[in-house]
Chain A
């Protein structure tokens, strides 16, 4: 079963605009991770935020976490055509071994 739900399911923007994707989850977590996947290939780790953190930055990425609302957001600033991909959030759900992924947001950045 899917733990997280990304919103929106699909997002289409112009190059240079910002893209915001949201993730909601159901159980308590130790951390939340965001991954990116190009065209049904392997996933690439983007950023990890721990449950005691509220915001984290990495380059053009900004992630927020609100554990009271069980939600997270991923902001990509100044998007590029190369950012076109599916983005997934993944939570550990308090588990010591597995990640549970949402269904993902398909981001299309038009040149």
Chain B
């Protein structure tokens, strides 16, 4: 148990819809990163939030957006869902920003787009 929680655990949406995924970070952590993991692949970095500001972004289109709240929990929003968005979405919290920090992952939200 890492202390990072995600909701919901599973979600089914249809193409064109919008989805919001939620993540509660571990106590004392101010940084949340989001990753997308397609079946059989490693996680791919979407973006990172540090103290409520976006701290870096991967190669994902603008329809992927996020928020971080004052309690450091976070949301990932995806608009205009496409079939290829079907994946496991992982959030990870860390004490500070930066690639040198250990990231503590939540159990993930599995999204299926039909």
Where the two chains meet, the residues of A that have a C-beta atom closer than 8 Å to any C-beta of B are: 1-2, 4, 30-31, 33, 35, 40-45, 48, 50, 88, 90-104
Instruction: Work out how many contacts link A and B, with CB atoms closer than 8 A.
Output: 83
Interface residues on B, range: 20 to 34
Shortest distance between the CB of A15 and any CB in chain B (Å): 26
B99 x A97 contact (CB < 8 A): yes
Question: 16 interchain pairs (CB within 8 A)?
Answer: A1-B59, A2-B41, A30-B99, A40-B108, A41-B108, A42-B108, A45-B102, A48-B102, A88-B42, A90-B42, A92-B100, A96-B99, A97-B56, A98-B56, A101-B35, A104-B42
* Minimum CB–CB distance for A63 against chain B, Å: 14
Q: Is B55 an interface residue (CB 8 A)?
A: yes
Chain A interface mostly: loop
Pick the contact of B2: A33, A42, A91, A97 (CB < 8 A).
A42
B residues lining the A interface (CB < 8 Å)? 2, 4, 33, 35, 37, 39-45, 48, 50, 55-56, 58-59, 88, 90, 92, 97-100, 102-108, 110
Please name all residues of chain A whose beta carbon is closer than 8 Å to the beta carbon of B48 when the two chains form the complex: 97-98
Q: Is the interface of B mostly helix, strand, loop or mixed?
A: loop
Tell me the bound Cα distance from A42 to B84 in angstroms. Answer: 20
Q: Which of B40, B42, B55, B88 has the most CB of A within 10 A?
A: B42
The smallest C-beta distance from A31 to any residue of chain B, in angstroms, reads 5
Select B107's contact among A4, A42, A94, A101, beta carbons within 8 Å: A42
Contact B103 A99 (CB under 8 A): yes
A30 touches B42 (CB 8 A): no
Closest 7 A/B residue pairs (Cβ): A92-B99, A97-B56, A101-B42, A42-B105, A98-B45, A43-B105, A42-B107
| Given A92-B100, A97-B48, A102-B42, 14 extra CB contacts under 8 A | A4-B42, A31-B99, A42-B90, A45-B104, A45-B105, A92-B99, A94-B99, A97-B33, A97-B55, A97-B56, A97-B99, A98-B33, A99-B33, A101-B42
